[in-house]
């Protein structure tokens, strides 16, 4: 099938705000420096939901979403040397580098997403976007290292560079927040405080390494004031994992004056600006943003897979649900309802 068009199932987002539609699509063979991959498993991420909602200014339709996926190389285009058929991989404008798409459905061109489009049984990606991993790694687990876990874990160990014995606060205890907690623990933090308005998430956060958890709704004063009192002046590091501008400000203010560092991991979807610059100059607190946790994805993912295989980092524990591909819309429903951390969808 290497030089032939493949017909397969895919979840197509025809328009914003509508459920995905399971369709038969055509996937063209890879061109020069491209790789066609059979996706084995993919996860559903808030980034996919953000684009599907129509709020993403860069979102275009119709498109095949998905960017936390793992699979096996089916065929390679001319000039691809680092990969060959049957290699197991995992991957992190809507068009391929040559400005065209490899997907069609019902006679219409379907766009790619983040260079990956893992909500398709087969996908085509640029060879520079493919990370070759340990052949023994379970693909239905390590697909999660394509985005959320790596971002949260890296925010702690790469972006903030959490030091041993430090105090940390993590705002938002979803998948990314749990990964931040894991990173803080690996880095040797002595106290990790989880912050969330959903107390049902507290037990899992403690399993990942949180020392204690607090619900802002339990207090009459702002949560940053509560944390400053709890820590005798503020935390050394805070992490905002929600994407809420007001929470970003609270996370910054919860840091200790003079040396505290606040990392924004969540993407603000509201379009508001966070006015931190004058504030951080006055107080000595530092505000940082992070992209993919500071990792270089193609180089770093094989290392993260190795850390998972050696049990240095958790991955299995993030999986709360497994669903067949035909039920991918249910994965979005579980996420929106706050009932899942990560749902794995298998073909």
pLDDT tens-digit map of 187-208: 999 999 999 999 999 999 999 9
Query: Half-sphere exposure of 53 toward its Cβ, with a 13 Å CA cutoff?
Result: 14
**What does the alpha-carbon distance between residue 171 and residue 14 come to, in Å, rounded to a whole number?**
34
Q: For position 270, what pLDDT does the model report?
A: 43
Q: For position 287, what pLDDT does the model report?
A: 64
Q: For position 295, what pLDDT does the model report?
A: 84
Q: Could you tell me which of 145, 125, 119 has the C-alpha nearest to residue 25?
A: 119
Q: For position 84, what pLDDT does the model report?
A: 75
Q: Is the Cα dihedral 211, 212, 216, 219 positive or negative?
A: negative
Q: What are phi and psi of 73, to 5 degrees?
A: -65, 125
**What does the alpha-carbon distance between residue 162 and residue 54 come to, in Å, rounded to a whole number?**
36
Q: For position 191, what pLDDT does the model report?
A: 98
Q: For position 277, what pLDDT does the model report?
A: 43
Give the residue with greater pLDDT, 268 vs 51.
Answer: 51
Given a cut of 70, is residue 75 above it in pLDDT? yes
Q: For position 96, what pLDDT does the model report?
A: 92
Average pLDDT over residues 246-250: 92
For 42-46, 117-121, 192-196, which range has the lowest pLDDT when averaged over its residues?
Answer: 42-46
**What does the alpha-carbon distance between residue 272 and residue 245 come to, in Å, rounded to a whole number?**
7
Given a cut of 80, is residue 319 above it in pLDDT? yes
Class of domain 6-130+315-346: alpha beta
Q: For position 280, what pLDDT does the model report?
A: 46
Q: What are the tens digits of pLDDT across the range 256-310?
A: 998 999 999 876 544 444 444 444 444 566 767 666 788 877 889 999 999 999 9
CB 184 within 8 A of CB 313: no
CATH 3.40.50.720 occupies which residues in the chain?
A: 148-293
Percent of the chain past pLDDT 90, that is, above it, reads 77
- For the chain, helix (H) and strand (E) counts, in that order, are 10, 17
Average pLDDT over residues 235-248: 92
Percent of the chain past pLDDT 70, that is, above it, reads 90
pLDDT band at 82; cut points 50, 70, 90: confident
CATH 3.90.180.10 occupies which residues in the chain?
A: 6-130+315-346
Average pLDDT over residues 30-44: 96
Q: Is the Cα dihedral 200, 202, 203, 207 positive or negative?
A: positive
**What does the alpha-carbon distance between residue 253 and residue 223 come to, in Å, rounded to a whole number?**
9
Question: CA separation (Å) from 181 to 171, 175, 196, 274, 340?
Answer: 10, 10, 13, 24, 17
- Eight-class DSSP state of 13: B
Give the residue with greater pLDDT, 234 vs 92.
Answer: 234
Given a cut of 50, is residue 241 above it in pLDDT? yes
For 86-100, 109-123, 295-309, 316-330, which range has the lowest pLDDT when averaged over its residues?
Answer: 86-100
- CATH of region 148-293, choose from 3.40.640.10, 3.30.470.10, 3.40.50.720, 3.20.20.190: 3.40.50.720
């Amino acid at each position: 099938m290497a030089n032939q068009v493949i017909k397969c199932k895919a979840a197509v987002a025809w328009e914003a705000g509508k459920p995905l539609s399971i369709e038969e699509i055509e996937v063209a063979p890879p061109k020069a420096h491209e790789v066609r991959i059979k996706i084995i498993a993919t996860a559903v991420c808030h980034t996919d939901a953000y684009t599907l909602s129509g709020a993403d200014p860069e979102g275009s339709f119709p498109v095949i979403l998905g960017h936390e996926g793992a699979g096996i190389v089916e065929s390679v285009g001319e000039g691809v040397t680092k990969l060959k058929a049957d290699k197991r991989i995992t991957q992190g404008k809507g068009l391929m580098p040559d400005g065209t798409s490899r997907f069609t459905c019902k006679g219409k061109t379907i766009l790619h997403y983040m260079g990956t489009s893992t909500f398709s049984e087969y996908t085509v990606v640029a060879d520079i976007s493919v990370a070759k991993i340990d052949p023994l790694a379970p693909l239905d687990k390590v697909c999660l290292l394509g985005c959320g876990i790596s971002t949260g874990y890296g925010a702690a160990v790469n972006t903030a560079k959490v030091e041993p014995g430090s105090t940390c606060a993590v705002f938002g205890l979803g998948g990314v927040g749990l990964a931040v907690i894991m990173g803080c623990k690996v880095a040797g933090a002595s106290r990790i405080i989880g912050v969330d308005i959903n107390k049902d998430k507290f037990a899992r956060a403690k399993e990942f390494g949180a020392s204690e958890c607090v619900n802002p709704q339990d207090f009459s004063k702002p949560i940053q004031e509560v944390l400053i009192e709890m820590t005798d002046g503020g935390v050394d590091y805070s992490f905002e994992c929600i994407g809420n501008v007001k929470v970003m400000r609270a996370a910054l203010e919860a840091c200790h004056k003079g040396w505290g560092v606040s990392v924004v991991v969540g993407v603000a979807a509201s379009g508001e600006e966070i006015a931190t610059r004058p504030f951080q100059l006055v107080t000595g607190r530092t505000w940082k943003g992070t992209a993919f946790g500071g990792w270089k994805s193609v180089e770093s993912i094989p290392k993260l897979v190795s850390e998972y295989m050696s049990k240095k980092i958790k991955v299995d524990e993030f999986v709360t649900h497994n669903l067949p591909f035909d039920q991918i819309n249910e994965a979005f429903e579980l996420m929106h309802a706050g009932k899942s951390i990560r749902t794995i969808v298998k073909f």
